[in-house]
A and B are shown apart, each in its own frame.
Chain A
């Protein structure tokens, strides 16, 4: 499927009228998010599979941003993408949070957690072991909490 089709998938009702897809508003939606997220693409009608991993991830993120959610849950949002794209995704998540979106990010990468989070809930053996504020969260504390035997 194309980049435009992937972007509009969760928000099809907003680009369709009477069950018919309005290709102009679909293209505009895809172009808007490609610009916001800095997705590098030749055309929004190119197949998603033609993009690099990081840019595919951005298209995937566009899909979930397109319906305009209040809460965004991200599970390992930077897994398997290169360093540059990772930094961009981090910047983007920061912007979204600054605009007032509640973001629940699930990650197993400590630097990412420490760099991004306002609050950190440390999971251990399937339960939340502790909830730390930004100030009290350190690498040692998170590690020891997560490894503690329940």
Chain B
């Protein structure tokens, strides 16, 4: 929990500075917008936490996100009720994730190579199919799930918080999550203890895809049209949030609360700079420095001892 505490402290300091430098940041409307904008990000980052826990990486989620968004829009346009269209988006994500899962777990290809290939392949496949068109003329029941902006925003926040709570609980209590921690910590020791790492890896990539699909739905329902090029750069933001949240990039150590703090920290920095009057050009540079600092803390932390037991 040490690294999670540092992330929490950094977030607190940032909020304190904002409280003095730009109290208008804390206007309710501003905070609500910030949270709604980042709800989908949190859902994706939870999936990325699972992938990084397993010692893998998934950089194809931006492309999965775009396809799931378009699929949800198309299904809604075809007249499916919103819950069914949303389910379609989640299933689409799961299926795309299972492609990565089969290639990584079944064939043993490194995940960075597999997901680089699917990132490019899926994105361009979508471009070829949609020819860059947006999904327009969506039924009124699509935007905000027909609940109006206030109700829709409440629904988005509720879903994101529920997903977070479920995974935070599961990561402590579920036998399956214990297998994930053990496998990411030391795949060979886990295999000797009777765990099948390929199954764990497959499940992780499918979960990542489904959560990406859900995030795509949460994002798409904020608008009256679905863009064909959504989710560019999503993977970088998600990985950044997880790493800033204190996860070990080599696997085996990460917490859901850390990821939540990482998402919030990165979410607050952008608007904080704007309120502080810093040029937006600096935003990415400062985000990059924070990520670098987090990775350095991970690399310089206490060495893990691999004698016989799993650390």
Q: A residues engaging B (CB < 8 A)?
A: 1, 5-6, 9-10, 12-13, 16, 19-21, 47-49, 53, 56-57, 59-60, 63, 80
Which B167-205 residues have C-beta < 8 A from chain A?
173-176, 178-179, 181-182, 185, 190, 193-195
A63→B194 CA distance, assembly (Å): 11
User: Pick the contact of B305 from A9, A10, A20, A49 — CB < 8 Å?
Assistant: A49
Known A1-B185, A9-B182, A10-B193; judge A57-B307 contact (CB<8 A): yes
Q: Is the CB of B173 within 8 A of A48?
A: no
Q: Is B277 an interface residue (CB 8 A)?
A: no
- The count of A-to-B residue pairs whose CB atoms sit within 8 angstroms is 58
Give the contact-size bracket for chain B.
20 to 34
Q: Is B310 an interface residue (CB 8 A)?
A: yes
Known A1-B182, A20-B174, A21-B175; judge A48-B309 contact (CB<8 A): yes
Known A1-B182, A49-B302, A63-B193; judge A9-B310 contact (CB<8 A): yes
Q: Is the CB of A47 within 8 A of B311?
A: yes
Q: Is the CB of B178 within 8 A of A48?
A: no
Q: From A60, which residue of chain B is reached at the shortest CB distance?
A: B308
Separation in Å of the A140 CB from the closest CB of chain B? Answer: 32
Q: Is B304 an interface residue (CB 8 A)?
A: yes
Q: From A9, which residue of chain B is reached at the shortest CB distance?
A: B193
Q: Is the CB of A20 within 8 A of B308?
A: no
A60→B193 CA distance, assembly (Å): 11
A59→B193 CA distance, assembly (Å): 13
A27→B273 CA distance, assembly (Å): 48
Q: Is the CB of A53 within 8 A of B307?
A: yes
Q: In the complex, what residues of A have CB within 8 A of residue B309's CB?
A: 6, 48, 56-57, 59-60, 63
Q: In the complex, what residues of A have CB within 8 A of residue B174's CB?
A: 19-21
